[in-house]
Amino acid sequence: MSGVRLDLQEPLPVPETEGPPARRLDARAWARENLFSSKLNGVLTVVFGLLLAWVAYRMFRFVFVDARWEIIERNITNLLVYQFPRGELWRVWAALYVLAASVGFGVGAAGRRSSLAAEADGVPRQGRSMVLRRVGPLLVLVVVLLVFAQSLTATLLVAGVAATAVLFRVVGQRVPLRRARLASLLVLVGIAAAYLTITAFGGVPRDRWGGLLLTAFLAIGGIVISFPLGVLLALGRRSSFPAVRIVCTAYIELIRGVPLITILFMSAFALGFFLPPGSERPSAVTRALVALVLFTAAYVAEIVRGGLQGVPRGQLEAAQAIGLSPLKTTRLIVLPQALRNVIPALVGQFISLFKDTSLVFIVGLTELLAVAQNITKQSDFVAQGLFVETLIFAAFVYWAGSYWMSRESQRLETRLGVGVR
pLDDT single digits (tens) 122-139: 555 555 555 667 778 889
Quote the Cα angle for 257-303-351, to 5°: 85
pLDDT at 35: 82
pTM of the model: 0.84
Residue 288: per-residue pLDDT = 93
Indicate the SS3 state at residue 294. Answer: helix
Residues in a beta bridge with 367: 211
Cα dihedral 267, 269, 274, 280, rounded to 10, equals: 100
Q: Is the dihedral of CA 90, 153, 219, 415 positive or negative?
A: negative
Specify the amino acid at residue 71: I
Residues in the chain where the model's pLDDT stays below 50: 1-12, 14-19
- As a CATH number, domain 71-84+207-421 is 1.10.3720.10
Q: What pLDDT sits at residue 3?
A: 45
Report the pLDDT value the prediction gives residue 4, as an integer from 0 to 100. Answer: 42
Q: What is the pLDDT of residue 7?
A: 46
